[in-house]
């Protein structure tokens, strides 16, 4: 690569271009054109600087990365990109005559981005300087970061119920076993935390299967009305216990294309949230209809609602408006992330409207059979 570029820059010098035209020169110019096109079209940013670290040439990708419009030729590179670490890298490569590589955050790139930068010294007759190659690695860095965050979150979420289980078990062993009432309470707590752990692990496995695309979609005709009624029956008791009225408008058969277990899980998670985030005496409604050639179901509650600040985050993994409250009631912060993935896998769309203190409506549209 460096050889190619040194050839390109050298040959492009006006004084050499003025040399006599011959057949050899013609073929040489053809090669130059090819190299020029390559230089112009490369997605990596390229900048060639002379021994004084002044820009001699930069390709369009370089201009684009830094949102530059003025001509850069002749300007000091540090004046163009005010990034000390980049300047030092180019300088070191020149003085040590060594190819160097470094990952740098360039705040000047719009928006701020991570780059892998290679500095390649070029020392040939008629051309001497350093070539900087800028490769945007922001996406890889972000993925790396989200993987690290995910592992940290999972560890934390596993640790919390485990610490409680251990604490209660230790107290039981040391003394509480002799006091049957206390022992019973503690065993109930252990049971509750063990259930949370199981739910968390099951949901993590679901997400990992969805991520890996390992969910085999059967795409069968399903009557959404019937499926919804069955799901509502499962929730009846829990809603009654919390004195929340659970309404559903009777709907004629509504055939959708999908897999019943996945649609059931979406509905289950949304109803579970409506139950969890609606205070006693509230109302939850399940609405089924067709709209714009799609089947639509809405889970509407008049519960605590979600603030406009929080709303964009609710489908993120482990995100919860109130961590302690959600965890206490067995929430994992994964339910809506799963709903989002499942809806996408079924070729549907998911929307939410919510107002703090007033309630939320989650709408899922699915392809009609």
Which spans of this chain sit near ligand ADP (rule: CB under 6 A)? Answer: 273-274, 276-277, 301, 303-306, 314, 319-322, 326, 331-337, 360
> Measuring CA to CA, how many Å separate 332 from each of 202, 221, 337?
11, 31, 10
Least distance between ligand ADP and beta carbon 2 (Å): 51
Least distance between ligand ADP and beta carbon 300 (Å): 9
Closest to ligand ADP by CB, 129 vs 305, is 305
Least distance between ligand ADP and beta carbon 66 (Å): 39
Closest to ligand ADP by CB, 6 vs 326, is 326
Closest to ligand ADP by CB, 172 vs 356, is 356
Closest to ligand ADP by CB, 57 vs 340, is 340
Would you state the structure tokens that stand for residue 116, as one six-digit string? 């892998």
**CA dihedral for 9, 14, 20, 21, sign (positive or negative):** positive
Nearest residue to 344 via CA among 260, 289, 277, 266: 266
Nearest residue to 365 via CA among 246, 206, 254: 254
Least distance between ligand ADP and beta carbon 321 (Å): 3
Closest to ligand ADP by CB, 117 vs 314, is 314
Least distance between ligand ADP and beta carbon 207 (Å): 11
CB within 8 A of 326, min separation 6: which ones? 276, 320, 332, 333
List, in sequence order, every residue forming a beta bridge with 360; answer none if it has no partner: 301, 354
Least distance between ligand ADP and beta carbon 264 (Å): 16
Closest to ligand ADP by CB, 121 vs 331, is 331
Query: Which H, E and C letters describe 250-275, residue by residue?
Result: CCCCCEEEECHHHHHHHHHHHHHHHH
Least distance between ligand ADP and beta carbon 280 (Å): 15
Is the separation of the CB atoms in 340 and 230 below 8 Å?
Answer: no
Is the separation of the CB atoms in 65 and 46 below 8 Å?
Answer: no
Question: Alpha-carbon distance 190 to 196, whole Å?
Answer: 10
Torsion of CA 47, 53, 56, 59, to 10 degrees: 10
> Measuring CA to CA, how many Å separate 191 from each of 46, 141, 276?
61, 40, 20
Closest to ligand ADP by CB, 138 vs 265, is 265
């Amino acid at each position: 690569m460096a050889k190619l570029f040194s050839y390109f820059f050298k040959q492009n010098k006006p004084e050499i271009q003025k040399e006599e035209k011959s057949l050899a020169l013609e073929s040489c110019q053809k090669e130059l054109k090819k190299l020029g096109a390559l230089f112009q079209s490369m997605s990596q940013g390229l900048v060639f600087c002379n021994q004084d670290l002044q820009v001699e040439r930069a390709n369009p990708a370089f201009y684009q990365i830094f949102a530059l419009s003025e001509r850069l030729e002749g300007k000091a590179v540090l004046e163009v990109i005010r990034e000390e670490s980049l300047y030092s890298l180019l300088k070191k490569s020149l003085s040590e005559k060594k190819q160097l590589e470094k990952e740098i955050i360039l705040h000047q790139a719009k928006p701020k981005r991570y780059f892998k930068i290679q500095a390649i010294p070029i020392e040939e007759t008629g051309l001497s300087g350093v070539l900087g190659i800028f490769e945007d690695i922001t996406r890889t860095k972000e993925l790396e970061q989200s993987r690290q965050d995910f592992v940290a979150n999972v560890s934390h979420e596993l640790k919390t119920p485990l610490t409680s289980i251990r604490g209660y078990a230790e107290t039981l062993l040391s003394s509480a076993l002799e006091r049957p009432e206390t022992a019973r309470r503690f065993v109930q707590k252990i049971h509750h935390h063990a259930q949370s752990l199981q739910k968390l692990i099951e949901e993590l496995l679901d997400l990992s299967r969805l991520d890996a695309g390992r969910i085999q979609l059967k795409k069968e005709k399903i009557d959404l009305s019937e499926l919804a009624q069955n799901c509502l029956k499962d929730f009846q008791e829990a809603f009654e216990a919390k004195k929340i009225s659970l309404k559903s408008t009777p709907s004629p058969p509504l055939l959708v294309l999908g897999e019943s277990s996945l649609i059931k899980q979406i509905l289950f998670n949304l109803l579970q949230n409506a139950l969890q985030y609606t205070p006693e005496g509230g109302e939850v409604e399940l609405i089924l209809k067709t709209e714009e050639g799609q089947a639509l179901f809405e889970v509407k509650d008049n519960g605590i609602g979600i603030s406009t600040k929080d709303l964009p985050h609710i489908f993120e993994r482990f995100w919860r408006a109130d961590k302690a409250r959600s965890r206490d009631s067995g929430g994992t912060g994964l339910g809506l992330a799963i709903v989002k993935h499942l809806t996408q896998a079924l070729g549907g769309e998911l929307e939410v409207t919510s107002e703090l203190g007033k309630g939320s409506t989650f709408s899922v549209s699915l392809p009609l059979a």
